[in-house]
Chain A
Amino acid sequence: MKLRLRDLTAQFALLPTWAIVVFAYIGTIAWSIRISLSSSRILPSDDFVGLKSYYRLFSTDRWIISVQNVAIFGVIFIIGALVIGFLLAVMLDQRIKGESLFRTIFLYPYAMSFVVTGLAWQWILNPSLGLQQMMHNLGWESFTFDWLARGDRAIYLVAFAGIWQASGLVMAILLAGLRGIDEDLWKAARIDGIPTWRVYLHIVIPLLAGMFATALVLLATAVVKVYDLVVAMTGGGPGVSTEVPAKFVIDYLFNRQNIALATAASTVMFIAVLVVLTPLLYHQYIIGRRRAAA
């Protein structure tokens, strides 16, 4: 009886949270999906036109390019940030002098917004202002680095700028993990004569799995919502070559006055995230129950 009362109080205390979840999250998602099936333009309308906006979406070159770009960006950004972040963490873990100084320097980019990162790299990489021009001024006339002005290469530079910013965060997370590894493990490995790189590869990395997962989730959310970096660095250009889905949604929502198409695009993004997330959640749920059972 007592327990039940406590349950009730707990449920009651959770009511505001439930209200927020139902109305602010689930409600708005349902509303967006509903709008995407209508013929809304600047204002929401109540009619029903089926999947018309979705047909248009997938026959729009810019959307296809956006999806390809977010895939390219995502793979390079996540792998790049994890690898570089890990290497930085390992280096700092060697008990070097001035560690805190380096830690601050490496983490510093993360304290900046993507807009600042984007603008700074845009200036550095602009062929007529930045690096290339500097090399020309120094006398190296044949030096060319014009990727930012090339539609087929610019997205890699965007990913590079993203890595530059996010590696420090990955480093901080993994460094904390490395510090948590038992010293005895290292001693044992040394006695057994295992080379250091193998210890990292086969013992340390598996031990850091949780830390890697945390970093991965943070990086993955950054990939899905990448918008400001692109706006500041390339504006989606040259042409539409560095467009991303989030920018597509914003442009059609506010600028191009087609909220049906914008919500259709955001619904597709939502489904894509669900598709990735569901097996993960399911996996965790199963494991959690098994552990609870054991």
Chain B
Amino acid sequence: MRLSHHLALLGTALVCLATPVQAAEKAEVLHWWTSGSESAAVNEFKKAFTAAGGEWTDAAVAGGGGETARAVGVNRIIGGNPTTAMQFNTSQQFYELIDKGLLQPLDAVAAKDNWAKVVNPVVLGAVTRNGHIYAVPVNIHSNNWLWFSPAALKKAGVEAPKTWDDFFTDLDALKKAGIIPLAQSGDSWTQQLTFFDVLLGAGGTELYLKIMKDHDVNAVKSPEFKKVADILSKMRDYLDEGMQGRQWNQAISLVISGQAGFNFMGDWAKGEVVVAGKVPGVDVGCIPGLGKSSYWIGGDVFVFPKQKDPNALKAQELLAHVMLSPEVQVAFNNKKGSAPVRADVDTSSMDACGKAGLQLLASGAFVPGSDMLIAPDTDGSIHDLIGTFFTDKSKTSADLVDGFAKIISNL
């Protein structure tokens, strides 16, 4: 017994000695993908990176919106012990880190792998600052989908809407049939999402860009924006009392089970549909932006903080290369439920809703998401404004226009 024990120990020691000293590219990757489908997706990165000779250290920090993960990552950068790579949303969240010179430019990898040609221009633009590329965009999410329950609409005796007028006809019918017309979550980010869906669908991409990109106050005071505010105002009559305290996934569940007619939510809602054993586009209908269809681009990127160790750059460049390679893009995004950032990959395995989105992307009818155009601070002010408007019916659409004009004019 004792002898075998010693032998085993000796064996272990020999194995340790025998392992050749590999110059593996070590990478510690900070991200907030901890749910089932998310960690399956990030595992694709890990697999591919290991296969390419790297050594992946996972630094996952839980928390859906990623605030905690970002706070941890930024603290480590400031503290002088940055991770090799760190996740952000495709947004302005990391612009200040760029301006302070804390992030590694990726121009060499980008030139070698020809990003300029293959990567979607909007996401590439979002990671480019002062002519340099500072992050790897890994996926594209679309935020402005209108999900509906065909069963609920049938029960109410109406068809899927094509215009905003249809939409309100349907809402009235649903209300009469005793079905929750519009399932809405109480979280202010989902209310803001609904607002932007109306702005894009009823106001169009031009109005959206005028306000969010050019910060044009006159556009906010235009009759087109007033129409958007009026639609949003009217929508409040079709919400149920259970909105407060309801999460986004509970709201889409109401549509999946046919208890509610409609829900505005991003394409990640597909995950919930699939988990419930339903087929997106069949059991739960999807409209990629009611009225004026468009693709509202959001997503995730990885930045590479500057390191003291010169060898770390090799690992960073290898990781950047791996994350954007075509096979990894498909494998990752199929698990994540998002679209690949490359236009030159095989997407035949996507469902009907995903394909409809890709068509819009290909047709050029896309706009950058709001947090690519404004700082998180401004985004927060809009959250507060929309959240208050949604829940306080004494606020009129004119109040909404005034409040929004104030935020835009402060930019």
**Chain A residues within CB distance 8 Å of chain B:** 41-43, 60-62, 122, 126-129, 132, 146, 148-149, 151, 154, 234-241, 251-252, 254-258, 261
B53-82 interface (Cβ within 8 A of A): 65, 67-68, 70-71, 74, 78
Bound-complex Cα distance A254 to B32 (A) = 15
Q: Total number of A-B contacts with CB less than 8 angstroms? A: 98
Bound-complex Cα distance A234 to B244 (A) = 7
Q: Indicate whether B125 reaches chain A with its CB closer than 8 angstroms.
A: no
A240 proximity list for chain B (CB < 8 A): 188, 384, 387-388
Bound-complex Cα distance A128 to B391 (A) = 16
Which bracket fits the contact residues of B? Answer: 20 to 34
Instruction: Write the nearest CB–CB distance from A123 to chain B, whole angstroms.
Output: 8
B373 proximity list for chain A (CB < 8 A): none
B242 proximity list for chain A (CB < 8 A): 126-129, 149
A238 proximity list for chain B (CB < 8 A): 186, 243-244, 387, 390-392
Pick the residue among B78, B245, B377, B390 that contacts A148 (CB under 8 A).
B245
Instruction: Write the nearest CB–CB distance from B91 to chain A, whole angstroms.
Output: 10
Given known pairs A43-B78, A237-B186, the reply for A256 and B241 (CB within 8 Å) is no
**Chain B residues within CB distance 8 Å of chain A:** 65, 67-68, 70-71, 74, 78, 93, 96-97, 100, 186-188, 240-245, 375-377, 379-381, 384, 387-392
Contact B245 A252 (CB under 8 A): no
B186 proximity list for chain A (CB < 8 A): 235, 237-238
B389 proximity list for chain A (CB < 8 A): 239
Bound-complex Cα distance A41 to B381 (A) = 15
Q: Which of B67, B244, B389, B391 is most buried by chain A, counting CB atoms within 10 A of its CB?
A: B244
Bound-complex Cα distance A173 to B244 (A) = 36
Instruction: Write the nearest CB–CB distance from B26 to chain A, whole angstroms.
Output: 26
Contact B376 A128 (CB under 8 A): no
17 contacts between A and B (CB under 8 A): A41-B96, A43-B74, A43-B78, A43-B96, A122-B245, A127-B241, A128-B242, A234-B245, A238-B243, A238-B387, A239-B384, A239-B387, A240-B388, A255-B65, A256-B380, A257-B96, A257-B375
A126 proximity list for chain B (CB < 8 A): 242, 244-245
Contact B391 A241 (CB under 8 A): yes
Q: Which of B241, B243, B375 is most buried by chain A, counting CB atoms within 10 A of its CB?
A: B241
Bound-complex Cα distance A43 to B103 (A) = 14
Q: Which residue of B lies closest to A132 (CB)?
A: B241
Q: Which of B96, B381, B391 is most buried by chain A, counting CB atoms within 10 A of its CB?
A: B391
For the complex with contacts A122-B245, A257-B377, 4 further pairs of A-B residues with Cβ separation under 8 Å are: A149-B391, A234-B244, A254-B70, A255-B67
